[in-house]
Amino acid sequence: MGENRIVEINSCIDRIPYAEIITPFDNDGLSLKGKILISFDELEKPLEFEVIIGPQYPFKSYDSESIKFMNNNLLEYNHVMGDGTICIHTSHSINLKNKIHIDFLSLKNWVIRYYINKDNDTHYEHLIVPDLPIDDSYYSFIFTDVSHEFKKGDYGLLKLSQINDGKLNEKLVSNFITQAFADQYGKEIATCNWSSNYKNYNKTSQGIFIFVEDSPSTYNRFLFQDWNQFDEQFTQDFLDFLHSTEKMFITKKLRDKLLPLFIGYKISESEIHWQVAMLKIGDFPIYGMNNGKVWQTALKEGIINWTKTRNSSYHYFFGRGTFCPKLAGKRILVIGVGAIGSCVARTLVKGGIKQIDLADYDIKEPENVSRSEYHFFTGITEKVHELGDGLSLLSPFVEVGHVNQKYFEFISKVLYKEPEAKKEFETFLNSYDLIFDCTTDNDLMYVLDSLTLKTDLINLSITNHAKDLVCSFSPNIYRFVTTQYSNILDNDIEDLYNPTGCWSPTFKASYNDIAVLIQYALKQINLTYEKGNSKNSFVLKTNSENGFEIKLEQY
Partner 1 sequence: MATDKNEHLKEVLETNKMSHVDDLLDKYKEKRTKIKEALEANYKEKIYSPLNSGSYAKHTAVNIKFDLDLVAPFKKESFGTLEEMFDDVFDFISDKYGSEANVRKQKVSIGIEFFADADGDVISVDVVPGRELNKDQYNDDNKLNLYVNSKYGVIEEKAYMQTNIQAQINHIKNRENERKIIRLLKIWRTTNSEDYKSFFLELISIKAFDNEDISGSLWDKLRAVMEYIRDNVTLDNFTLVDPGNSGNNVADTLESWQKENLSTKMDNMIDRIEDNSDNIKIYFPINDDFKDDDEDKYGVKEGASTFSIPSRDQRFG
Binding site for partner 1 (CB under 8 A): 336, 338-341, 438-440, 442, 460-464, 470, 475-476, 479-488, 491, 493, 496, 503, 505-507, 509, 532-534, 536, 553-555
Burial label, 213 (beta-carbon count in 10 A; 0-12, 13-18, 19+): middle
Cα distances from 477 to residues 252, 460, 472, 542, in angstroms, run 64, 10, 6, 22
Shortest distance, CB of residue 246 to partner 1, whole angstroms?
59
Closer residue to partner 1, CB minimum distance, 158 or 509: 509
CA pair distance 288, 240, nearest whole angstrom? 10
CA pair distance 499, 179, nearest whole angstrom? 47
Closer residue to partner 1, CB minimum distance, 261 or 384: 384
Shortest distance, CB of residue 345 to partner 1, whole angstroms?
13
Phi, psi (deg, nearest 5) at residue 399: -95, 115
Closer residue to partner 1, CB minimum distance, 205 or 484: 484
Candidates 447, 458, 402, 392; CA nearest to 425 is 447
Q: Report the SS3 class of residue 419.
A: helix
Shortest distance, CB of residue 409 to partner 1, whole angstroms?
16
Burial label, 499 (beta-carbon count in 10 A; 0-12, 13-18, 19+): exposed
Shortest distance, CB of residue 499 to partner 1, whole angstroms?
14
Closer residue to partner 1, CB minimum distance, 185 or 503: 503
Shortest distance, CB of residue 438 to partner 1, whole angstroms?
5
Closer residue to partner 1, CB minimum distance, 431 or 476: 476
Residue 445 contacts residue 480 (beta carbons within 8 Å): no
Backbone region of residue 156 per phi and psi (left: phi > 0; alpha: psi in -120 to 50; beta: other values): left
Shortest distance, CB of residue 335 to partner 1, whole angstroms?
11
Residue 473 contacts residue 537 (beta carbons within 8 Å): yes
Closer residue to partner 1, CB minimum distance, 295 or 497: 497
Shortest distance, CB of residue 338 to partner 1, whole angstroms?
6
Residue 299 contacts residue 245 (beta carbons within 8 Å): no
Closer residue to partner 1, CB minimum distance, 76 or 495: 495
Closer residue to partner 1, CB minimum distance, 297 or 461: 461
Cα distances from 222 to residues 55, 130, 268, in angstroms, run 29, 9, 17
Ranges of beta strands (E only) in 214-294 are 217-218, 222-223, 258-266, 272-280, 286-290
DSSP H/E element including 306: strand 305-306
Shortest distance, CB of residue 109 to partner 1, whole angstroms?
49
478 CA to centre of own chain: 40
Shortest distance, CB of residue 418 to partner 1, whole angstroms?
13
Closer residue to partner 1, CB minimum distance, 304 or 460: 460
Residue 296 contacts residue 288 (beta carbons within 8 Å): yes
Closer residue to partner 1, CB minimum distance, 354 or 364: 364
Closer residue to partner 1, CB minimum distance, 163 or 324: 324
DSSP H/E element including 131: none
Shortest distance, CB of residue 423 to partner 1, whole angstroms?
14
Shortest distance, CB of residue 151 to partner 1, whole angstroms?
49
266 CA to centre of own chain: 21
Shortest distance, CB of residue 113 to partner 1, whole angstroms?
48
**8-state DSSP, 369:** G
> Can you state the percent helix, strand and coil of the chain, rounding each to 5?
30, 30, 40
Closer residue to partner 1, CB minimum distance, 500 or 534: 534
Backbone region of residue 256 per phi and psi (left: phi > 0; alpha: psi in -120 to 50; beta: other values): left
Dihedral of the alpha carbons of 400, 403, 404, 406, in degrees to the nearest 10: -140
